Structure 1
Amino acid sequence: MRTKLTLTMDDSVIDSAKKYARQKGKSLSDIVENYLKSIATPEDTTEKLSPKVVKMMGVIKLPQDYDYKKELGNALAIKYKS
């Protein structure tokens, strides 16, 4: 269902937004709708990941007190030990 929304803002903002929309080849309504979707829905980072990475997520279970910085430091110390 599509519903009309009326917004009130400065003329200069409207003019700039219309110019931006023309340059992008989109309607101002599409730009506003996409912006509102981006701020109104919880960020789902899995959309930005490759399917292979998403499939691997949750495979490794680490303890609550796992300190990755400490483990990284230990691994680097072993790697570069003279």
Structure 2
Amino acid sequence: MNAKLILNMEKHLIDSAEEYAAKNGKPLSRLVADFFQMLKNSNAEKEPQLPPTVASLKGVLKGSGIQEEDYKQYLEEKYL
């Protein structure tokens, strides 16, 4: 289902976009739709990249029985 979208931007950007669309044989609305789809896809696929050292530690404490409260108590005893 298509819907109408109104965008407000600087005239030179519109002119550049229309020129680009004409050179590539696509309607400007198709370029905008493709751009939004690209943004959606790139955000869906992005998972935070952990440094290799951190990634290797992921899940190490799972099932160890250590609770967040235990960790907080340890830090209080160590630093207070």
Instruction: Find the structure with the greater CA-based Rg.
Output: 2
Task: Work out whether 1:40 is the aligned partner of 2:56.
Answer: no
Aligned-residue Cα RMSD (Å) equals 2.0
Segments of 4+ moved more than 4 angstroms:
none
Aligned residues between the structures: 47
Letter in 1 for 2:27: S
Distance 1:40 1:10 in 2: 24
Instruction: Give unmatched runs, 5+ long, in structure 1.
Output: 45-63, 66-82
In 1, distance between residues paired with 2:9 and 2:45?
A: 27
Q: TM-score, normalised by structure 2?
A: 0.52
CA–CA separation in structure 1 for the residues paired with 2:35 and 2:45: 13
For residues 5-47 of structure 1, give each alpha carbon's deviation from its aligned partner in whole angstroms, at most 9, with x where no partner exists.
Answer: 0000000000000000000000000000000001023239xxx
Instruction: Give the TM-score taking structure 1 as reference length.
Output: 0.51
Unaligned 5+ segments in structure 2 are 47-54, 57-80
